[in-house]
Amino acid sequence: MTDIPLSDHTRNYWRYEYDVAQRYMVPLLMRWGIRLRDSSLVDLGCGEGGGVCAMHDAGAQCAGFDIDRGRIDAAAALCENRQIPLAVGNLYEDQLPFQGRTFDIVVLHDVFEHLEHKEKVLTRIRQFMKPQGVLLITFPPYYSAYGAHQQHCVAWFARLPFFHLVPFSVSHLLPRLNGEHLPVVTEIQKLAHLRMGMGKFEGIARDGGLRILHKRAYIISPNHIRIGLRPLPAGFLAKVPLVNEILCSGAVYLLGTE
């Protein structure tokens, strides 16, 4: 176990990552016929490592990397005695951790919506997949209530649902608010530029030579267990164009190669 100081926030975030994966992602993969036990898995953007630890505890042989060294150091500490290779890595760079290895399952949990040059990055992600491997991607659709992650703002009105869709709110108002953290503002503006909804994502996946094996959308995402809410699948509403982009706060895709 790595001996570094860990804040309560870091420990709580690890627990949240673990709970989402253990309570919802693992059962969903099993329901979709994906065998975790003895399967190889890599978590790209593993954060504090809670999700990859849950996948490990479900029987997968796991590895993970993240762009943030501080989060990887925390993950190494919080993994305790689990044998999970962890590394610092940037999907924009040519030299990636675990390069040359392929995996049965590749996971990007709430990472893909943040990535620029998605088509190029998706090509790199595919290099981690075995020929019959699968890719699990989750994200909040941009046009949903908190699709720009504005819940991290300081101002109460900036945290309101759909604030990011109000004209000029992100481009003009948000940068002028006192007390807002520059990295938060910058990320919200980037998400507003990328505007990745489900329809756009599915087009990127198809153009990248991937096919959708399974999809599940949620009106209340599993991520919202952090605030005491129970996930609520969207059911047939996930298939209604435009309505699904607005109502669904989370989407989960399982992709395979064509």
Where is pLDDT greater, at 174 or 4?
A: 174
1 within domain boundaries:
no
126 within domain boundaries:
yes
Query: 66 and 118 share a domain?
Result: yes
220 within domain boundaries:
yes
- As given in the structure block, the two tokens for residue 108 are 């990007």
Query: 135 and 229 share a domain?
Result: yes
Q: What is the pLDDT of residue 168?
A: 96
* Burial group, residue 118, by CB count within 10 angstroms (0-12, 13-18, 19+): buried
Percentage of residues in the chain with pLDDT exceeding 70? 99
Query: Does the pLDDT of residue 122 top 60, yes or no?
Result: yes
Query: 71 and 91 share a domain?
Result: yes
* Count of domains observed in the chain: 2
2 within domain boundaries:
no
Query: 41 and 116 share a domain?
Result: yes
Distance of CA 7 to the CA centre of its chain: 22
Q: What is the pLDDT of residue 237?
A: 94
3 within domain boundaries:
no
pTM for this one? 0.95
Query: 180 and 201 share a domain?
Result: no
Kindly indicate the confidence band of residue 4, based on its pLDDT and cuts at 50, 70 and 90: confident
Each residue of 143-178: pLDDT tens digit?
999 999 999 999 999 999 999 999 999 999 999 999
Q: What is the pLDDT of residue 5?
A: 82
Query: Does the pLDDT of residue 39 top 90, yes or no?
Result: yes
* Burial group, residue 114, by CB count within 10 angstroms (0-12, 13-18, 19+): middle
Each residue of 55-105: pLDDT tens digit?
999 999 999 999 999 999 999 999 999 999 999 999 999 899 998 999 999
| CATH number, residue 49 | 3.40.50.150
What is the bridge-based pairing of β-strands 232-233 and 103-109?
unpaired
Q: What is the pLDDT of residue 1?
A: 47
Q: What is the pLDDT of residue 2?
A: 52
Q: Mean pLDDT across the stretch 39-51? A: 97
* DSSP label at residue 235: G
Query: 201 and 137 share a domain?
Result: yes
Q: Write the single-letter amino acid at 14.
A: W
Kindly indicate the confidence band of residue 3, based on its pLDDT and cuts at 50, 70 and 90: low
